[in-house]
Amino acid sequence: MATPHITAAEGEIAPLVLMPGDPRRAARIAEEFLADAKLVSDVRGIPCFTGIYEGVPMSVMASGMGVPSISIYATELYRFYGVKRIIRVGTAGAIQPKVRVRDVIVSTASHSNSSAHGLMIPGLTVSFAPTFDLLRAAVAAAEQITDVTVHVGPTYCSDHFYFSQPGWIQGLADLGTLAVEMEAVGLYGAAMREGREALVVLTASDHLLDAAGDMTAEERETSFRNMVTIAARALIS
Ligand code: HPA
């Protein structure tokens, strides 16, 4: 069995998938979090590894950047490989003063300028949100980790990294939006269409409204490990 973008054989991808944007990060997560990780697909340099996390089969596959890219991989995993749960583990730009660089964000809803809204049911604005069991499990997992600040709330999924209308980011911040990223709507939309589960967990890698300092290498490491631990525990819950 293969799809246009995944060449794993049937049964080689686990029902639980962690999905970072970056292919190198996928390899690192597989190395650090999975036992017996095996590369099962590598089309276009987008790797999928399958191994064992705390006794449970789990895969890690990169999504690439942006809504179209993650939509393709998430849809093919749900529809053709029987995947039940995908959690995106990515980075985001913070847009609230209370969200500091390296904090973890659990996305409870995704505002967006993506065309995905209009495509779900033409004429309607559909809400893009995670599925509740994963959301609840991630918040519970986050409460067990003491060296990280976790924010739970809405995020913004932008189709543009280098373009934004004046006032958009401040307007979103005024509505309580926590951070900006570029994939949530693609994942939440695919999960809705395919009737499966999805969640987005993020680390604030930079701050758009506040000249906050960059993360040190050590902070980056701790924050990344905390985010992946929260997501992996939620997946097996
Ligand atoms: N915009 C969009 N996506 C991002 C950003 C940003 O500023 N930072 C990290 N991911």
Q: How far apart, in whole angstroms, are the C-alpha atoms of residue 169 and residue 237? A: 35
pTM of the full predicted structure?
0.96
pLDDT of residue 163: 87
Q: How far apart, in whole angstroms, are the C-alpha atoms of residue 172 and residue 102? A: 21
Closest by CA to 86, choosing from 201, 221, 203, is 201
* Cα Dmax for the chain: 49
pLDDT tens for 80-112 read 999 999 999 999 999 999 999 999 999 999 999
Mean pLDDT over 195-201 rounds to 98
Output the CA 8–ligand 1 centroid distance in Å.
31
Residue nearest to atom 10 of ligand 1 (CA): 92
Q: How far apart, in whole angstroms, are the C-alpha atoms of residue 85 and residue 140? A: 17
pLDDT of residue 211: 67
210 catalytically annotated: no
Indicate the top mutation candidate among 22, 96, 180 to test ligand 1's pocket, ranked by most ligand atoms within 8 A of CB.
180
Helix runs in the chain, H state only: 23-33, 67-81, 116-120, 132-143, 168-174, 184-194, 217-236
pLDDT of residue 214: 65
Rounded percentage of the chain residues whose pLDDT exceeds 90: 88
Indicate the top mutation candidate among 206, 210, 224 to test ligand 1's pocket, ranked by most ligand atoms within 8 A of CB.
206
For the beta carbon of residue 216, count every other beta carbon within 10 angstroms.
10
pLDDT of residue 35: 98
Pocket of ligand 1 (CB under 6 A): 91-93, 158, 161, 180-182, 205-206, 208
The atom of ligand 1 lying closest to the CA of 90 is 10
Give domain limits for the chain.
16-235
pLDDT of residue 117: 82
The fold for domain 16-235 equals: Rossmann fold (3.40.50)
User: Is residue 186 scored above 80 in pLDDT?
Assistant: yes
Q: Under 8 Å CB-to-CB from 1, ≥6 apart: which residues?
A: 8, 9, 10, 80, 81
